[in-house]
Structure 1
Amino acid sequence: MVAAGRRGADAGPSTVARWWDRLVAALRDRVRRVRTIGGLALQAGLAAALSWLVAHSLLQVSQPVFAPISAVSTLAASVGQRLRRTVELIIGVTVGVLIGDLLLLVIGTGWWQLALIVVLAIVVALFLVGSAAVVIQAGATAVLIATLSPAVRDLEIPRFVDALVGGGVALLVTAVLLPLNPLRVLNRAARPALDLLATQLDATAEALAERDAALARTARGELRQSAGRLKAFVEATQGAREASTLSPVYWHQRHGPVGRYAQAAEPIDRAMRNSGTLIRRSVTLIEDGEPVPESLPTAVADLAEAVRLLKRQFAVGAEPNRAREQALRAVRTAGHAYRDGVGFSGAVVVAQVRTTVSDLLVASGLSQEDANHLVRRLFGDV
């Protein structure tokens, strides 16, 4: 009875500590989220205000409601898709106005006319472009034309003006007035993916050294979270390219750090997948009791450090020479492990170290041919 009471007393602080850790993690996640989109919020606010001022004060649109809406809609697009969103916005408005006006002249106004106008505007938009943004704008504009045109004269021109002003001002804010640093955008997106990969490779190295299958299984499960982080990284590369193309302030980064960083997304994706195979085979290796030469966990740990160095050197816009050297060290050590003697799964782990290193070398800026040649030479094939 006393022992049970003691276990309950011990469980209380443990439960509180877990809840506290979860609360802290949730708060950190929300702070990180605010920091990530804080720049977007400032851009949206500035674009909404400027588009309203331009439409109202300069172009004399009496109620420029849709100019700020168009600006915010453009900025709400995925980073890297804003120029395309502006074009889609204008196309959608054009389709909606044309369909609405033509049908109103023929069939008049009413509830069934509204339904027909919206259906036809959406069908035509789908036929011409097929983009969801164009469809939404065409349908919304058709509704406005069908419902407000009888009461508001010459609605079509203000709607065009609002779309042009809103999209144009959004691009102006993005490119000139309040541009986001493309390298910073990439760093924020790439850091979680690369940190996850390095951490789980470290855990796998420890699992191999300790022959701890449970630890390797945990690393395998954690790495499965990489899909969302990689998607965010790929989207960030599109945004960085757009920012460095549109913004004169960052033109110099197009073919330098940003260009190199953006090209790394695909090989880093491959490195993630190949590392997943490495970790899965490590679990099997340990469970089957295969030999684990001392150099094998060292090679995996070297691989984790190469990922970490790649992240650091990308973050400062430096040529990732140290990351390449560290990755090749992992290949050399994996070659020692292979010659020291490994089983079937151990040979797969060694092969995945080689393949992942090749991916990281390509991510660092080498060609696939040069990366493969270096890996073969350092491993001892040539």
Structure 2
Amino acid sequence: MNEGLQDRLEKFGLSLYMIRVTLAASLSWLAVHSLYGDRYLYFAPLAAILITQSSVKASLEKGAYRLLGIVLGGIASLVVGRFFDVGALSILLMLLLGIGVATACRINIQAVSQVGVTSVLALTFYHDGYIVWRVAETLIGVLIALIINMIIVPPKSFVKVKDLALKGSLTLSDALTGLTSGGRDAAQALTALKLSGELLGKSTQLQKELHFTLSHYQCRKELGTLSQATSHLSRVHSYVKGIAEEISLLPAHYAAADWMTEVVTATADCIALYGTRTLSDAECGRSLPESLRRARDVQLAWFSELQGQCPLAAFRDLGAVFSHLNRILEEIERADYAAISAAAQPAKATPARAIRFIQKGLSHKL
């Protein structure tokens, strides 16, 4: 769906969720009517409405729980219905059996509640083949809802997910730079550090959900590269958290020293440069390998100089900071090497196909 079209539709209340629900329910009713006629037509649209969520994964989970609850509830009603008529005692026994077994098996609460609903309705319609119709038509509704969720997705989802990862990397770089400022700036750096973790985590979650959609099939290679880059940045984020903890234990004159600012800033620049090169189309005037080499030289130079100037206890704590900073550089170096290898390998394997994709503009299609 075009992004401009979606914005215009939402002004009139036609959100993406509403479009998914109405299409899934309508197609479910049409499919069941074509297959079975006029028997229990409402089960398939009802299932489609109830399981449609914002993502395919969430819809799949909800649909699985609903089907599981219907099957368990149907079995409980069949067992009790063979020996008892509809009444307070039969409903009591049926719910004790169905919900008790579901709870004992540690089944999700959504499936447990569906067990109770199906049990009562199945016992009421016991002589009308309710259970078979309910399971079959619910399955049809679930499948159609999942297909609709896989086809109709927010416009430019891949670009938005990629932007989240880019913003997370730049925010992480700013957070690392601000850790040596002290006072209010240090508090802001900790806030930025938390925000960067949330951005990278959200990007990772949305990337997993994109794998379930059909419209992003042509972006599967770029999606794999993005997932790899986000994974490396998440590890870098854990190292920055360690640096924040270690710096908070240092005396103020060490944490806010000019040499500490120089060392930390050189490392933070490598994070920002890697994120910009890998996650955006912006031109980078600097070379990442050269920036990594410079940052490592600055670390080694200051670490050597501080050996003879600092007390043993302070030098031990400083060593922890320098160790985390070096791990960041190593992680970015590995990430850059992995990105270059992934980009070069397909070009050697299938050059003709890559040229056709570029000519058609499919390499940038979202």
Is this a same-fold pair by TM over 0.5? yes
Instruction: Please list the CA deviations of residues 326-367 of structure 1 after superposition, one character each: whole Å capped at 9, or x if unmatched.
Output: 377246314313312455554433322332344445556729
The answer for unaligned runs of 5 or more in structure 2 is 1-6, 307-314, 340-366
Contact 1:305 1:326 in 2 (8 A): no
Q: State the alpha-carbon separation in 2 of the partners of residues 66 and 328 from structure 1.
A: 63
In the alignment, structure 1 residue 306 sits paired with structure 2 residue 276:
no
The superposition leaves residues 270-309 of structure 1 with CA deviations (integer Å, 9 ceiling, x where unpaired) of: 2222122223334445724354326314313313413531
Report the AA paired with residue 257 of structure 1: E
2:219 to 244, 253, 259: 253
Task: Compute the TM-score of the two structures, normalised by the length of structure 1.
Answer: 0.67
Give the partner amino acid of 1:173.
Answer: I
Which residue identity lines up with residue 253 of structure 1 in the other structure?
A: C
CA RMSD in angstroms comes to: 3.8
Is the 8 Å Cα contact of residues 237 and 265 (structure 1) preserved in structure 2?
Answer: no
Instruction: Choose between structure 1 and 2 for higher RCO, CA contacts under 8 A separated by at least 6 residues.
Output: 2
Query: 1:169 Cα shift?
Result: 0.5
1:240–1:262 CA contact under 8 A, matched in 2? no
Q: Does 1:337 align with 2:299?
A: yes
Residue by residue, what CA displacement relative to the aligned partner does 1:120-168 show, whole Å, maximum 9, x if unpaired? 223434566834443343332123213x326x83322331233112111
Q: 1: CA distance between counterparts of 2:285 and 2:243? A: 20
Question: Which residue identity does 2:170 align to in structure 1?
Answer: A
Matched residue, 2:346: none
Q: Structure 2 matches for 1:368-379, cutoff 5 A?
A: none
1:260-275 alignment, distance < 5 Å: 260-275=225-240
Structure 1 residue runs without a partner (length 5+): 1-30, 368-382
Q: Tell me the residue number matched to 2:357.
A: none
Give the TM-score, by structure 2 length: 0.70
Contact 2:226 2:279 in 1 (8 A): no
**Post-superposition shift, 1:99?**
1.4
* Paired residues, number: 317
* Contact preservation (8 Å) 2:267, 2:328: no
1:292–1:366 distance in 2 versus 1, CA, 3 Å: same
Q: How does 1:1-382 map to 2 (within 5 A)?
A: 39-56=16-33, 58-76=35-53, 79-126=56-103, 130-146=107-123, 148-149=124-125, 153-176=128-151, 178-179=152-153, 184-189=156-161, 191-192=163-164, 194-206=166-178, 208=180, 211-225=181-195, 228-243=198-213, 247=214, 249-254=215-220, 256-285=221-250, 287-289=252-254, 291-293=257-259, 295-306=262-273, 308-309=275-276, 312-313=279-280, 326=288, 329-330=291-292, 332-340=294-302, 341-342=305-306, 343-361=315-333, 366=338
Shift of 1:214: 2.9
SS of 1:48's partner is helix
What percentage of residue pairs aligned between the two structures are identical?
19
